[in-house]
Amino acid sequence: MDAPMPVPAPLSLHVPEPPQRPGSEIDFTGLAVQPAGTARRPAIDCPAADMTDLAYDLVRVLDDQGHAVGPWDPALAPDTLMRGLRSMMTVRAYDERMQRAQRQGKTSFYMKCTGEEAIAVAQAMAVDRSDMLFPTYRQQGLLIARDWPLVDMMCQVFSNAGDRLKGRQMPVFYSSKEAGFFSISGNLGTQYSQAVGWAMASAIKGDTRIAAAWIGEGATAEGDFHHALTFASVYRAPVILTLVNNHWAISSFHGIAGGERTTFAARGLGYGIPSLRVDGNDFLAVFAATRWAAARARANLGPSLIELFTYRAAAHSTSDDPAKYRPENAGAHWPLGDPIDRLRQHLIALGVWSEARQEDLAREVAEAVQAAGKEAESLGTLDKGPYHSARTMFEDVYKTMPWHLERQRRQAGV
Amino acid sequence: MATMTMVQALNAAMDVMLTRSGDVVVLGEDVGYFGGVFRCTDGLQRKHGRARVFDTPITEAGIMGIAVGMAAYGLRPVAEMQFADYIYPACDQLISEAARLRYRSGGEFTAPVTVRAPYGGGIFGGQTHSQSPEAIFTHVAGLKTVIPSTPYDAKGLLISAIEDDDPVMFFEPKRLYNGPFEGYHDRPVVPWAKHPASEVPDGHYAIPLGKAATVRSGTAVTILAYGTMVHVAMAAARDAQVDAEILDLRTLVPVDIEAIEASVRKTGRCVIVHEATRTGGFGAELSALVQEHCFHHLEAPIERVTGWDTPYPHAFEWEYFPGPARIAEALRRVMEE
């Protein structure tokens, strides 16, 4: 006779929980951060299978003293670095101004990218001006690094008479064909497969332009992430797939998106896509990794996945209060520092920059943002107008207005 | 001019457009080397190359996302959904992306994608190979919805859909692919060759979207139909010996309100027919439009003859299908008023 089966213990469900909640001190000591300069730099034609370690490592260039070290140092000219610094500072000043405008009731909503400025700015600088960008709502730095007018961006946020999107989109959902900046969607992840489609089209036409797309770690759970990686891998699409791991999807920490089990970069390995994990607060590392991926794409070697490891220092949006779900001021303790401070420190270490020049630049940037703000507000704000004519509400649904919309427009009396 | 089935006519439309414009690409599950499970893309890859006509992974949502991106680049993708029933995973990319792109980008980015999908029952496809989901898409601002009923229309309408600068849902009545169908499943299959609308011109011709066709002139009652049901309505009018005027709508959005209005004002009666389920179906919209535009000319309540509000049942296909007997009954009812 068989021995009786032991009575199994009751099952229990694992629901991931971040290490700290409000009321306790933030503690990042559990975070394994590799020293700068230690990650290897493979050739651009290296197969994904021969560089799997880089999906778990962390590509870093700037060390704690502000020196650029290791094989990923892009050796950028000081002028390029200063341009990056200026753009990042402009993004931060722009964010501050628009957040304040929202608090003053001049618009309905705003989203900052504090702590993530290096991502959009360095990546915009690492690709060609004619390459096509498919961003999320936290890459305003792409437009700024491409010298897109701040006034134009502000008009969108105010939905005013100067808004190129005619008051149809929520604030920060920018779109500009001329800037190579795809229309931002609120349905997260959709842009990821669209970017791959754009890149495939470029390859079909024998073009030389590539596409770049962004997604947050939270939205990697959307099907579009899987569709994008599948198509990118199958058709070897010339696309850079950036995955911004800022650790928070509104109130859900990265563990709710699967971050407890493996790195997000490792998701690319199953598709055979070369995947890098990179310090997102290190301007040089972000630039170098993006340049590497761009060179791969342009050489017809296909897609790359880049996880940019960073931290959302501010709230998700003006509708969010992070003090309700994580320790206060968590961003200030992020062990990988602040991207603007780190690039400034690097420029000083290079001997081409000073605190005095930094102050001058800060003033210059503040004045430019202030002047743009005044100009944009003179074209209207959401609370007071003026706006585009309400008649435009019926336009652009179709190329030519069909009879039923024409009839509804007349009924609306506009 | 050649005699064609609807499958051949659709194939010819894509062939013409692939030849005329290097921006047209055809993508979908099994559409490449094999030529599609219904053969609609047969030979197109061989003729136009793998980069223009290609197989995709099994992901309708992925196909649609890719197509939107290609359209944003400037291509005119023709995406095949193997069955209309499989289209739902693509809805986010269709409804929130393709349909809204022109609007939300202030007209800068557009999505001139044609989505081809075989729809409708009558082939023992059960509930996942028989659905008629057109009303889900006619409800979406920014999409156009087109449904042909003959080979001649299929080619001309598909060419117009591909040339259109807005996203077009192009639903193909799969029961009509290889022959007209009057709704009598127990009668021998009739080939397209015996139908005058199987005469399809060579080369390019376009049938404008938004224009209905009067397929039978009459004075007693107006029947509004599209796709398979156009042929079933013809049989019903004949069998019931009612002098019906039958409008093949061809485009559901934007619908040809002028043709509907002119016909119903003349006949004073209206029967609306579709294979899709009844509640919230496109017939409800048509009924409301007729009431709004022709109320004082109506001499009888508007009738709807539709599929029942159930999933499409495998064994009871012909109890579900709104066949000629049910339409004839409705015709007699409105004529008695």
Contact at CB, B101 and A227, closer than 8 angstroms: no
CB A244 within 8 A of CB A214: yes
Residue written as tokens 């009731």?
A105
DSSP B62: H
Could you tell me whether strands B221-225 and B270-277 are parallel, antiparallel, or unpaired per DSSP bridges?
Answer: parallel
Contact at CB, B51 and A230, closer than 8 angstroms: no
For residue A213, what pLDDT is reported? 98
Is the CB of residue B75 less than 8 Å away from at least one CB of chain A? Answer: yes
Contact at CB, A197 and B72, closer than 8 angstroms: yes
DSSP B274: E
In chain A, the percentage of residues whose pLDDT exceeds 90 is 97
For A264-284, what is the mean pLDDT? 98
Q: In chain A, which residue's Cα lies nearest the Cα of B106?
A: A165
Interval A59-101: pLDDT, tens: 999 999 999 999 999 999 999 999 999 999 999 999 999 999 9
A166 to chain B: which residues are within 8 Å by CB? 106
Whether the predicted pLDDT of A252 surpasses 70: yes
Is the CB of residue B285 less than 8 Å away from at least one CB of chain A? Answer: no
Helices (H) and strands (E) in chain A, counts: 10, 7
Amino acid at residue number A90:
T
CB A277 within 8 A of CB A54: yes
For A266-287, what is the mean pLDDT? 98
Residue A156 burial class via C-beta count within 10 angstroms: exposed 0-12, middle 13-18, buried 19 and up:
buried
Task: Select the residue from B18, B23, B56, B73 to test the A interface by mutation, using most A Cβ atoms within 10 A.
Answer: B73
For A3-31, what is the mean pLDDT? 92
Interval A292-308: pLDDT, tens: 999 999 999 999 999 99
Is the CB of residue B48 less than 8 Å away from at least one CB of chain A? Answer: no
Separation CA A76–CA A36 (nearest Å): 17
For residue B337, what pLDDT is reported? 79
Interface of A with B in 252-311 (CB under 8 A): none
For residue A32, what pLDDT is reported? 81
B185 classed as catalytic: no
DSSP A261: T
B79 to chain A: which residues are within 8 Å by CB? none
Contact at CB, B103 and A396, closer than 8 angstroms: yes
CB atoms within 10 A of CB B330: 20
For residue B170, what pLDDT is reported? 99
B106 to chain A: which residues are within 8 Å by CB? 164-166, 168, 175, 396
Closest residue to A197, CB basis, from B69, B96, B104: B69
Residue B242 burial class via C-beta count within 10 angstroms: exposed 0-12, middle 13-18, buried 19 and up:
buried
For residue A4, what pLDDT is reported? 79
CB A228 within 8 A of CB A237: no
B141 to chain A: which residues are within 8 Å by CB? 397
Contact at CB, B66 and A197, closer than 8 angstroms: yes
Show the beta-strand stretches assigned E in B29-183.
Answer: 53-55, 76-80, 114-119, 144-146, 168-173
Q: In what order do the strands lie in the sheet with A211-216?
A: A132-134, A211-216, A239-245, A304-309, A275-279
A397 to chain B: which residues are within 8 Å by CB? 102-103, 141-142
Low-confidence ranges of chain B (pLDDT < 70): none
> Looking at CA atoms only, how far is residue A200 from chain B in angstroms?
7
Q: State how far Cα A355 lies from the chain centre.
A: 28
The candidate with the shortest Cα–Cα distance to A135, out of A109, A178, A87, A174, is A174
Separation CA A296–CA A232 (nearest Å): 13
**Omega before residue B254 within 30° of 0, cis:** yes
Residue written as tokens 């294979």?
B275
Gyration radius (Cα) of chain A, Å: 23
> Looking at CA atoms only, how far is residue A191 from chain B in angstroms?
8
Angle CA B65–B71–B76, to nearest 5: 120
CB B249 within 8 A of CB B222: no
**pTM for the full predicted model:** 0.97
Interval B137-172: pLDDT, tens: 999 999 999 999 999 999 999 999 999 999 999 999
The candidate with the shortest Cα–Cα distance to A161, out of A381, A376, A388, is A388
Mean of pLDDT over chain A: 97
CB atoms within 10 A of CB B125: 19
Task: Select the residue from B63, B66, B285 to test the A interface by mutation, using most A Cβ atoms within 10 A.
Answer: B66
Q: Per-residue confidence at A6, pLDDT binned at 50, 70, 90?
A: confident
Is the CB of residue A398 less than 8 Å away from at least one CB of chain B? Answer: yes
Q: Per-residue confidence at A1, pLDDT binned at 50, 70, 90?
A: low
Backbone angles phi, psi at B239, to 5 degrees: -65, -40
For residue B192, what pLDDT is reported? 98
Separation CA A225–CA A271 (nearest Å): 11
Interval A353-410: pLDDT, tens: 999 999 999 999 999 999 999 999 999 999 999 999 999 999 999 999 999 999 999 9
Closest residue to B108, CB basis, from A169, A175, A397: A175
